[in-house]
Structure 1
Amino acid sequence: MSLEKITWKWIIPGCCKTRNQVLEPKKEVSKQISFQRLSISDVSDPSSPLFADDLSNSLIGSKLHVFSLAELKDITNNFSWSNLLGEGGFGPVYKGFVDEKLRPGLVAQPVAVKLLDLDGLQGHREWLAEIIFLGQLRHPNLVKLIGYCCEDEHRLLVYDYMARGSLENHLFRRFTAAMPWSTRMKIAFGAAKGLAFLHEADKPVIFRDFKSSNILLDTDYTPKLSDFGLAKDGPEGEETHITTTHIFGTQGYAAPEYIMTGHLTTKSDVYGYGVVLLELLTGKRSIDRNRPSRKQSLVEWARPLLKDPKKLDRFMDPRLEGQFSTKGAQRAALLAYKCLSNHPKCRPTMGDVVTILEPLLDLNDWFFEPFVYVAPTDESVTMECLVNEKGDSNEGDGCRGGWRRRINSTMSSVTHSDTSLYRIGNSKIV
């Protein structure tokens, strides 16, 4: 049997059709064809010996909706500025609403419509990767892809709308209330489960760009991994790693061995997870050029402190005001230390991370000590001694109550506006 040439029409149903074209009815796929997850390499290699039915069957099984450009214009008010949620490397993201009136079988819900910027940092390959991975993989801690549009030169993706935006915004944007300790641990645990699911799949997936801006939060602060544009199929069989010719990722999150050699493993993701866990503990960005030179890299500054339980107060987020589990913070810090090892083999698996984090969710040994907070007036970092219950300062004896760092930043209870939800401010490694 001769192999037919693979085209975009075969890979993605509805792809490359014009506005006036009508899709032919899909041929019934033989029941003898078993469903097997399609990998990104299957469609990026033009010599891949796959039939059109194999490709389309994979996507048919995923139950993705194929939207027209007109439909997506309608639900976003013609991509109105008032519907704009933000913009990233892929392109702008708009808020919309779908229901059965738009398409039978659609659950009435708000959605996020991501429009590929043809002049942006990402392109067809990243758009296709989102469909290949999220169209086939389902997990409570992965963002749900509802459908896509491929019409003329237009490439769009439609996701569940994440009402609370990104973890990055909650941790680092001004005028936001501090995220409670229990919420931080819930996010750390859920994100770890999502990453473990990818790594433990029959065909392992390396996320490759794990960072706080790619963790979206629903109304209950359940974390969902998003942006699979840079994801890669992991090594299989006797392979120990995947070799890449170009280094992609985000500065401050990419594993050192990947930057140096281009070798990718699931342990590369574990390093990125360690950075995010450190951000949750400290409330600091992975890279900040506005900090003193020795503190600009969060990992380089904090990693030596993480394995010493007595140094907890030197790096914990001061906005928590001591309201966290001491045991939980110590164990999470030690876990971050292991994840950030310069030696990939010394890092835990994400399955191990899930096992370590789960008991921390129920710890309630809240760290109560007298705490004095002075409203900040500038951007400097101050060190003040804690005051004991009698009102005496703990001077002269090493400050028995310990030192607590306080970052001067204005706080407010104002919640995020839609326009800030998906904005990404991290620099890319290209």
Structure 2
Amino acid sequence: MKLSYEKMVLLTDNFSESNCIGNFQFGKLYYAKIVYPGITAYFMVKKWEVPENCDYDPGDNDLRLMDEMILLRHEMFINHPGMLKLYGFCFDRGLIGAVYEFKPFDSLFNLIPKESKLPSVVRYLHLGKSSYYQPFVLHNLDAAHVVLDEDYNPKLCDFGCTSGGIFLNKKTYSGHNSRSCYGCIDIALCSTGDWSIKQDVFAFGVILLSLISKRVYTDEDSEAGAPFVFEWAFTEYEEALESKSDVKETEFSLVHKSLAAEDDFCTVDGHKITTLALECVNRDEDERPTMKQVVKSLLKLEIVKQNADFIGVNKVLNSFENGI
């Protein structure tokens, strides 16, 4: 459905600051709604803008909108629980935007300092669904590109750099050489010009480190020259290695003390999830696990086993059997 500029203004209360969820790599996300007699319909709006922190060529955002419309309407994804449902789009009076049938709670990036099905979504994208389709590579997986509903179910909300899959001959946009997605992009791999699903694994590892340590990398950190989250994690590990020669046999953990203080926290889980995150950001991409292996490791955590019914582990296990 094509929406007018006026309709987008109405949905977001003229893109008010109070309705802004946050930034994504190429623009902003907004809470949106329409109030009808006796009922309120909730949406999420994505507004593409000229990015300040990455290279941009005129027309890049037009192509990103087009790619997203193709992707989210494709039979592989139209009913996938980890993908947003496209309601409409806007290409009017200079406004490039998309509207989703989704009631957002917040972005993962916003929730990290305050306080998972996400790896299953990435694993699905990495699966070659047939001999014809190659795996998708997101290229810009980031906590700011994951939104959650009120039940904390994650949805990927940006595909502006996605290649592979149904985009067989897609060329990388200038935004691929991005200076945003701070610390989530494997610079070493990007510098070679080669793209791999292991780059998404690296980005997921950074998100996992951020979640367990409650650390995010901000614009202020970038200006101050602060270490990326994965660099901080390696420093912590190396310092522990120097102080304890048998650190690999200890329960080394980067889990934040507030999380470790929870009644149902398991110390062994802290060590396991820290080790998994560090494996994901291994400097050698060949040593990183696949997303399928990541999901399997997460399913073995004690906290997951104890809350299997609540977090829908059986559904995830069924997805392994069905290749979803």
- With structure 2 as the length reference, what TM-score do the two structures score? 0.72
The alignment status of 1:130 with 2:61, answered yes or no, reads no
Shift of 1:70: 3.3
Contact 1:243 1:263 (C-alpha < 8 Å) held by counterparts: no
Q: Indicate which of 335, 338, 346 corresponds to 2:287.
A: 346
List aligned pairs for 1:5-154, cutoff 5 A.
65-98=1-34, 109-117=41-49, 123-136=61-74, 137-138=77-78, 139-154=80-95
Q: Which amino acid in the other structure matches residue 192 of structure 1?
A: P
Separation (CA, whole Å) in 2 of partners of 1:251 and 1:87: 13
Could you say if the C-alpha distance between residues 294 and 200 of structure 1 is closer, same or farther in structure 2, counting changes exceeding 3 Å? closer
The verdict on how the C-alpha distance between 1:346 and 1:81 changes in structure 2, with shifts beyond 3 A counting, is closer
Q: Distance in 2 between matches of 1:151 and 1:267?
A: 38
- 5+ residue gaps, structure 1, are 1-64, 102-106, 180-186, 366-430
Instruction: Select 2:252's aligned residue among 296, 312, 333.
Output: 312
Q: Does 1:297 align with 2:231?
A: yes
CA distance 1:303–1:166, change in 2 (3 Å): farther
Hey, what does 1:379 align to over in structure 2? none
Paired with 1:123 and 1:244, the residues of 2 have a C-alpha distance of 10
Q: Distance in 1 between matches of 2:103 and 2:249?
A: 36
State yes or no: 1:206 paired with 2:142. no
- Is the contact made by 2:23 and 2:144 (CA closer than 8 Å) also made in structure 1? no
Where does 1:115-194 land on structure 2 (aligned, <5 Å)? 115-117=47-49, 123-136=61-74, 137-138=77-78, 139-172=80-113, 176=114, 179=115, 187=116, 190-194=117-121
Q: Radius of gyration: which is bigger?
A: 1
Cα 1:335/1:294, change in 2 over 3 Å: closer
Secondary structure of the corresponding residue to residue 356 of structure 1: helix
Who is 2:156 aligned against?
225
Q: Is the 8 A contact 1:275 1:299 kept in 2?
A: no
Whose helix proportion is higher, 1 or 2?
2
CA spacing shift, 1:292–1:309, aligned 2, 3 Å:
farther
Asked if residue 356 in structure 1 is aligned to residue 308 in structure 2, the reply is no
Give the distance between the partners of 2:173 and 2:7, measured in 1 at CA: 38
Q: Which residue of 1 aligns with 2:191?
A: 260
Q: Distance in 1 between matches of 2:230 and 2:278?
A: 18
TM-score (normalizing by structure 1): 0.56
Any conservation in 1 of the 2:25–2:181 contact (CA below 8 Å)? no
Contact 1:191 1:224 in 2 (8 A): yes
Deviation per CA, 1:150-200: give whole Å up to 9, x if none: 23533210024453211221112xxx4xx3xxxxxxx3xx11001011111
Match among 144, 154, 177 for residue 247 of structure 1: 177
The one-character-per-residue Cα deviations of 1:228-277 (angstroms, maximum 9, x if unpaired) are 1121226999x9xx988862352311124323212111111011111111
C-alpha RMSD of the superposition: 3.6
**Number of positions where the alignment pairs a residue of Structure 1 with one of Structure 2:** 278
Q: 1:233 is aligned with what amino acid? A: G
CA distance in 2, matches of 1:201, 1:244: 23
Which amino acid in the other structure matches residue 252 of structure 2?
Answer: L
1:147, distance to aligned residue in structure 2 (A):
1.8
Q: Which amino acid aligns with 1:254?
A: I
**C-alpha contact (below 8 Å) 1:163/1:219 kept by paired residues:** yes
Sequence identity percentage: 25
